[in-house]
Structures are given as structure tokens and as C-alpha cells.
Structure 1
């Protein structure tokens, strides 16, 4: 049992940089391969084409989210094909002829990634076959033919798959650490909010009432008040962001672990930590399978401000697990921000980029590959079977129209929510504060709008003292 617990709480070493004197490994730029990852803009969320993509494709190596939706829109009227490659697995190919530009736009969906390319029609003496187009994007394709898709609702199913990893919405945790607080219990047990902390929250976004809120709720309850009365929300470059502020989540007397708070923050990928005083923040203090990066912010008074200064400068430091790839924007040197608007722009951009990079860490990339492969195989199988039904004379074996799209998740939730649901093997009782239910099975119905169904129970991503992890087998 002792070894099991050691395994449960073991993790890769993290690295802190910024305020504590470390080097920001995410922005040093010592390797040329990181050059595209350290810009000030928000990182690409879409899959990046592999190195096998041919140089005649005019598309860039990766597409930003806004560009992806434009591509999906252009592919509304397209022809699709499916195949099962002996080595690559399920393949779904979409081809669209853009007559005005005299070019072909092609997307090849594989279990590892989706490849996109555009090809000038003038390059070909005759229109290429589906196999030829697929090999232009990936030379490893070995199938001899593709099966055409004739199902009338195929575009909806394919778009749902394309969007399963693309989300315009994000949720981040916000922890409040006061002087002398070194444990998870101390930090999650804070109920009072100082004027300094409230001012910081106002930089992040607007405090909203959860009751009846119609924007992105980030897993919070907007109907029954089970996750508190207020939250902090903002819109940023077309993205909606909900902050899980620990002090605004429900507090339970007698619960040292504060599971009602931790089941949200422990389920986030990235969290902000606002520090008052000089007590350092150690990332391992917060036990979670999902949290991979923390951004700590502390208000300071610089020597140049003198006695008359308002102490409005903010010092930023960042710590992340070592398998999280580099991401921008870089911390300034020194990592000090004197204007709230500049701090806001930096923090929100860094938070989004941090989450996107965390998805490439070992745990998430492994889970993503498993989930994506399963979803792609389900898509290929459904497109194939429904296309065959469309071509048959008899309708006895046809699949009811009302069942269309059932096998593919709704877009907008991101792959992280998909595999959270896929790996959930048991539920926890909300009322009993984390005591496992004896009845097995998956609890709850699938949430709407791709959001996490966190309203009624602690999430399995949270490590709870005295309990074994439902993810030990991953």
C-alpha cells in the first residue's frame, strides 16, 4: 500500500522561473525548434501537419483556430472518402474544389493528427484520385483505394469530429495564498478576499452572478447555486474564459480538503496563484492529475516608486511540469508589470498558451491519442455504414435518421472533456463529500455545449487523501 501511495503521488519534477530567479525555459529560445512557440500571440490549437507534408502545399505548417473555422466553412460543400490503412489506421479524407481560386483544398484526418493542404489545379494534368491526394499530404498512406461517402448528413458528423479538439472557451483556476500558507488545506480554506485580491480579480475579468448566466459556464452551476453565487468571467480575442476562483466556490465546514472547491480547480489544466506576502508557492502542494502549470502573481513595491508609490507593480513567476513544451509570450526581465492592462494581456495570453502546451505533455498526449483514435474509427465506421445504407434498394436495414451524429461528440468542448468522460470509471457523492458510491457505473448525463459535468460530484482528476485514484490504470 505504501508503494502504491508513492506511485499515486509521484510526478515529474516541475521547474519554476520568473520571480524566484529561475530561467523561463519556455521562452529562452535556445533551440530553433521553439521559435514558433514563443511569440506574443495565442498558440495554434489545431493539429500541425507532419514533416511529411509536401512543399507544394501552400498552407502554413499549422492553422490558428479562427482559420480552422474558416476552413471548415469552406469544406461545407465537399466530397469525402474513408479508408482503413494497415499501418495508419482509420482515414477520413475531404476534398473541396474552389473554382474561383482554381485550387483543391484537402484535409486528411488520421489518428495522430489532421493534415491540411491546398493544391493548384494547374499542377495536375488530370484530377488526382483520393489516394493520390492523401499521399500528397502523407507519403505513408498505403491503401490502394478510398470508399466514397454518400451519406447526406456526413458533413455534420465530420465537422463535429473536426471541432472536438477546438474550443473557443477556457477555464482556469484561481488560488489565493496568504502569508504563511504552505499547504493545500490552508490555501483552499481561505474565505476572505482582501481589497488587493479583489483588485487583481478585476484585472482578469468581470465578477458575474452565476444564476441565469448564459455565457460559457466552465462547469459551474448556473441554475441551482450549487457552485456558489459569483464567478469571474471575461472575453478575450473572441474566446470566453471562466475563472474558478477558490474563494467564490462553496466552503464546507469541517471538510479540511474542501472538495467542493478542489473538484473544480483540481480539474483545471492551468491555475493562477495570487500571493500576498513572501511565502513561496510550491506546485506540488496542490495534488491533481490534471494541473500541469501554475502562474503566480504577487504585488510589490519597487524601489523606484519610493514612499509615495502606490505599490501597483506586479511580479509574475511561472512553474510547470517538465514535460510541458515551451510556450509564449516570454516573461520580461525583470518579470514586473506596472500597468494592469498590460498584465491582463500577458496573463490571459500566457494562460491560453499554457493550456494548449500542456495538452502536449506525456499524460495528455497519450490520452488524446487514445480518444482521437477511438473517435476517428467511430466516424469512419459510421460514415461507411450509412453510405452503404444510402446505396441499398431496401430500407429495412437503414439506420433511423434521428440517430444521426450520436457517435460523435458535440464540438466546442475540447478533447480534454471527451477523454475525461471516457476514462471516468466511478462517481463520487457530492453530499457525502467524496465518499465513493458503492454502486458502480458512470453517473450523470452528458453535459451540453461540450462542458464538463462537474456540477454534481468531485472529478476523478483530483487527488484526494485516503482514496485511491480511479486513473491508476491509465
Structure 2
């Protein structure tokens, strides 16, 4: 399978001859760790201090600190994200006077022990008990526990985005049906209670009657399967399908032929990861293209890029998609928006408590 780049914003990912198909491994566990609501796990409901800054050299800040078994833990929230820091209590300087009266270390000494980059002089200790609930709510809003991925189908003679959005579900191949089963289970949208990814669950079938869904490693994943979305014979562009897949950061393209795909036909500003899958032997050949500006992410794709239909291969494939979307958040398309959202949330909390 070849992918034609042409005049495109996308670049193919390079395969790694030494890489192997692996299941759940350390890099995935590290990614999952980022989605643990650390404030709830380590601070909420326990005696701890919360510091706020509306203005500092790092912008608005919210820092939570707790002494846990002789170890200080800090959760530093800034417009750049949340940073989790730990330091042994013995490494934090305290004057003899403060030790004698059990006053604890000064905030300057405590913050410098965590990081020299924390602007301690801008921080104010806030003792309002209601702040804890607000910090927990803010953290919960920023933790990602669900993903939506587009899935498109290309058959013989098709090579463009318009082609892959024009196929009818009743005409798909047995191989494509098997691939959808590989991804997840087919669920009825009517009355669906799980993550719906913008799909209609009222029973009016505005976005089709069924979709493909899975729970994987604690995440919910809904697949926007183009052929399951409504088809409009009068609409050559299939805008209803385009509306969903065009807003997905990751789109899987299943190729049922050797026709090279024209990457330049992708017109969505949201699409940043294109995962091309083609049946090969008892498994699939996998090629990934990423939009310019998306940083390198793991796992590396092996060379040859072949994976099977087993559970380990499925872990590898979904791990690649999840990490690809995470990497896209750091691109120029998303990073400024995410920083602005964090800034608004932090400013709202700090403004309320630092009047």
C-alpha cells in the first residue's frame, strides 16, 4: 500500500525496523497515569494547603501541597498543564525556630525544594474550605477519559476523502466487517447511556441507528463509522458524515484495494492523525500519516508494519491512536486553545479567592 502525499499538510511516520508489536507496556501505563485525578487521590479530604496566584511570571497558578508520610507532594497547575512533584521532607529547609514550634517550612523554602522555577513570592495561601471542591472540579474537567475516532472505508478505485465518505454500509466487504469487530462492539444508539461522542441517542436515527464502541484500558472510545452515519443520495459531499469525521483528530482509513490514497484530498483542519489499515495475510498492514507540527509519539511502528488480529495487536493499534491524539494536543492547532482554557479556569478560581 502506498500513500501519496502530494501537496499535503501530512507526512508519513517513519517505521522502526527494531520496533515490535507489544501490548500494554510502560509507555501506556505512563499515559494512563496522566488521567488519574491526582488531587482527589492525594489531597481531597485530607489536611493540605492550597496556594493561588492571579499574576506571576508563569501566569495564574494553583498549587496544592500535602505532607504524606514524610514526603511533600505538590500539584502545580498552570496554563502549561498540571505538574506532579514530590520531595523528601528532610530535603526542605526549616529554621530551628520553625521546627521548635512545628510551624513547617516557609513557603519560599518549600517551593524552591520542589522547583526553582516556582514564583513563590506571588503565591497566597488560601484557607477557604470551599476551594478544595473548586480545584477538584477544575481537575475533573481537564482529565480526558473518552476518545472519538473516525473510521472510513475505501474500496477498489477509490483514493480520496470524497470517495471514502460515499460508501454505503450494505456494500462493505466481509474484511471491513471483521475489522469493525476488531475495533469494538456494534451498539444500538437508541437509549445509549455511555459516551456518545456527539451521536444522537434519542431514537430518531439522526446520526444512524448503530455505532462501534469499546472500553479499553479505562477509556471509552466511540468510533464514528462513516458507513453507519446517514447517507444522502442528493449530497455528493456527504456533509453529515463529513461533519463527524471532519471533527475527529484521528481518522482510520480501511483500504480494500491497492489504490494509493491522496492525502491532499483531506480538507479538515481538525484531522491530525490518519491511520491507514489494509488487510494483509492473516493480519493488517498499518501506515500512519500525521499533520505537520504533531510531535513524535510512541509506540514506534515496526518495519514491516504488520499486526495481527489478536488482543496484543489490538492494544498496540489503539495505543497508537490514543497517543497520536495526545501528541496532537501539543501542535500549534490545539496547544494555544488548551492553554487559554486552562488560563480562564485558573483566573476564575484565583479571582474569586484573592479579592
TM-score, scaled relative to structure 1: 0.65
Residue 91 of structure 1 is aligned with which of 58, 61, 71? 61
How far apart are 1:177 and its partner, in Å?
0.8
4+ residue runs over 6 A deviation: none
1:21-420 alignment runs, 5 A limit: 23-24=14-15, 41-42=27-28, 44=30, 64-65=33-34, 68-76=36-44, 77=46, 78-98=48-68, 101-124=69-92, 125=94, 126=99, 127-142=104-119, 144=121, 146-191=123-168, 192-223=171-202, 224-301=204-281, 312-385=282-355
**Aligned partners of 1:286, 1:340: CA distance in 2, in Å?**
31
How far apart are 1:254 and its partner, in Å?
1.0
How far apart are 1:183 and its partner, in Å?
2.7
Number of residue equivalences: 332
Unaligned runs of 5+ in 2: 1-6, 19-24
Unaligned runs of 5+ in 1: 1-10, 18-22, 30-38, 46-62, 302-311, 386-474
Aligned residues of 1:157 and 1:379 also touching (Cα < 8 A) = yes
Of structures 1 and 2, the one scoring higher in RCO (CA 8 A, sep 6+) is 2
Aligned residues of 2:277 and 2:286 also touching (Cα < 8 A) = yes
Secondary structure at the aligned position of 1:64 is classed as: helix
CA gap 1:356/1:145 in 2 versus in 1, 3 angstroms: closer
How far apart are 1:44 and its partner, in Å?
4.7
How far apart are 1:132 and its partner, in Å?
3.2
How far apart are 1:43 and its partner, in Å?
7.0
CA gap 1:89/1:265 in 2 versus in 1, 3 angstroms: same
Secondary structure at the aligned position of 2:37 is classed as: helix
Cα deviation per residue 1:403-432 (whole Å; 9 max; x = unaligned)?
Answer: xxxxxxxxxxxxxxxxxxxxxxxxxxxxxx
Aligned residues of 2:160 and 2:262 also touching (Cα < 8 A) = no
**Aligned partners of 1:187, 1:173: CA distance in 2, in Å?**
11
Secondary structure at the aligned position of 2:85 is classed as: strand
**Aligned partners of 1:343, 1:354: CA distance in 2, in Å?**
16
**Aligned partners of 2:344, 2:286: CA distance in 1, in Å?**
40
How far apart are 1:70 and its partner, in Å?
4.6
CA gap 1:284/1:153 in 2 versus in 1, 3 angstroms: farther
**Aligned partners of 1:136, 1:210: CA distance in 2, in Å?**
52
**Aligned partners of 2:71, 2:308: CA distance in 1, in Å?**
50
Mean CA deviation greater in 244-253 or 115-124: 115-124
CA gap 1:201/1:80 in 2 versus in 1, 3 angstroms: same
Secondary structure at the aligned position of 2:264 is classed as: helix
**Aligned partners of 2:11, 2:331: CA distance in 1, in Å?**
14
TM-score, scaled relative to structure 2: 0.85
Q: Aligned-residue CA RMSD in angstroms?
A: 2.6
Q: Which has the higher strand share?
A: 2
Secondary structure at the aligned position of 1:42 is classed as: helix
How far apart are 1:151 and its partner, in Å?
2.9
How far apart are 1:296 and its partner, in Å?
0.6
How far apart are 1:65 and its partner, in Å?
2.9
Aligned residues of 2:87 and 2:114 also touching (Cα < 8 A) = no
Cα deviation per residue 1:49-72 (whole Å; 9 max; x = unaligned)?
Answer: xxxxxxxxxxxxxx8235x32553
How far apart are 1:218 and its partner, in Å?
1.4
How far apart are 1:292 and its partner, in Å?
0.4
**Aligned partners of 1:175, 1:340: CA distance in 2, in Å?**
22
Does residue 16 in structure 1 map to residue 2 in structure 2?
A: no
Aligned residues of 2:155 and 2:256 also touching (Cα < 8 A) = yes
